[in-house]
Structure 1
Amino acid sequence: MVSSSLPIVLETIQEERIFKNAFLDNALTRQEWANVIGINRKTILRWETEIIQSVPPVKAQYFPPDRSIRAQYLDNYQRFLLACILVAKGGLEKRSRSYDSVIKFLKINFNNLKRENFEQWVKING
């Protein structure tokens, strides 16, 4: 299934065991988060460089102005956005979709993927 639909991506994140308690308000390093979601730390760095930075509104939310571009720790919103990329890319299904398809997904859905929307989603979905 192509996970280009935001409701499908959010439902998948909510139902998958690897994401249980993954968005609590704590910070994890890229290596720790990579271990949790089963990818390489360098993949996260590639996604930050080649996907997130390609979508300016998402980049502005992911790298807030009060933090350095490459802070050592990922906050809960950053982990959520990386989880969305993993699901949209087909990572849970062990299929790989192109970066272009994920960039398109983010461009279409960026208004619903803001920090404020994430915080509301966490309140509703626990």
Structure 2
Amino acid sequence: MINQLINLNWISVSVAYVVYSVLGALWFTLFFKRQYVISLGKENEAPQKPAPIFIIGPAVCILVITIASAILIYALGIDSISGALEFTLIIGMGFLVSNTINIAINPNIPRPIHYGIITGSYHLTGILIVSLIIVTMK
């Protein structure tokens, strides 16, 4: 595992991480802000400043997803755009989207499918960007 980490192009990992993070900020505060609030059942509540965990937590998770994706891309020898797209579909749909919807299906998320579509599509888009950046800068 140490060799896999050493062999990563850390510039591509860093770029992918920043882009994925910025996408998240835009996704939930600009592009789909209203829909996201509705999915959480908070459309009638006054906006509140998020606690630090709601900023730091996703940032750490995105970093882990980005590094894990880079390790897998290198280990699987993915070196083409078509390979990055296949990787995106498998990892994005197989893990990120399905896990997001699974997590949303609990009593605390009043509109789990709505939430899953908004958040899952963010992660699918994010992993696509990560995959393309890692493969093209490899």
TM-score by length of 2: 0.32
Q: Which structure is higher in RCO with an 8 Å CA cutoff and minimum separation 6?
A: 2
Q: Which has the higher helix share?
A: 2
TM-score (norm 1): 0.34
Larger Rg: 2
